[in-house]
Chain A
Amino acid sequence: MNRLLRFYHQLGSPPYFYRISGRLLPWFSLLCFGLIAAGLWGGLVEAPADYQQGDSFRIIYIHVPSAWMSLFIYMVMAVCGAISLIWHMKLAEIISISSAPIGASFTFLALATGSLWGKPMWGSWWVWDARLTSELILLFLYFGVIALYAAIEDKRTATRAVSILALVGVVNIPIIHYSVEWWHTLHQGPTITKFDKPSMHISMLIPLLYMAVGFKLYYFVVVLMRSRGELLRREANSKWVNDLLESK
Chain B
Amino acid sequence: MQTHEVSTDEGQAVTTRVIGNARSNQSAHSLNVRKLSCLRDDRVLFDNLNIHLDAGQVLLVEGRNGSGKTSLLRILCGIRLPESGEVFWCGKPIHELGAAFHEQMAYVGHHDGIKGDLTVLENIRLARALGKPSSAAIDDILEQIKLSGYEDVMTQALSAGQRRKLALSRLLATDSLLWILDEPFTSLDRSAIEMFEGFMLAHTAAGGMVILTSHHEVNLKGLTPISLCLSP
Contact = CB atoms under 8 A, between A and B. Distances in A.
Do A and B touch (CB < 8 Å)? Answer: yes
Contacts of B41: 154
Nearest to A160: B81
Interface residues of B, number: 3
- Size bin of chain A's contact surface: under 10
A191 interface: no
Contacts of A247: none
Give 3 closest A-B pairs by Cβ, nearest first.
A237-B11, A237-B42, A154-B41
Interface of B: 11, 41-42
B83 to A, nearest CB: 9
Contacts of A237: 11, 42
A154 B41 CA distance: 8
A52 to B, nearest CB: 58
Binding site secondary structure of chain B: loop
Interface in A178-207: none
A237 B42 CA distance: 8
Nearest to A157: B81
Contacts of B42: 237
A237 B9 CA distance: 13
A234 to B, nearest CB: 10
Nearest to B42: A237
A237 B41 CA distance: 12
Contacts of B11: 237
Contacts of A154: 41
3 contacts: A154-B41, A237-B11, A237-B42
A126 B39 CA distance: 50
A153 to B, nearest CB: 9
B196 to A, nearest CB: 33
Interface in A223-248: 237
A154 B81 CA distance: 13
A121 B11 CA distance: 62
A2 to B, nearest CB: 27
Interface in A154-168: 154
B117 to A, nearest CB: 29
A175 to B, nearest CB: 30
A237 B11 CA distance: 7
B182 to A, nearest CB: 20
A238 to B, nearest CB: 9
A14 to B, nearest CB: 14
A228 B41 CA distance: 21
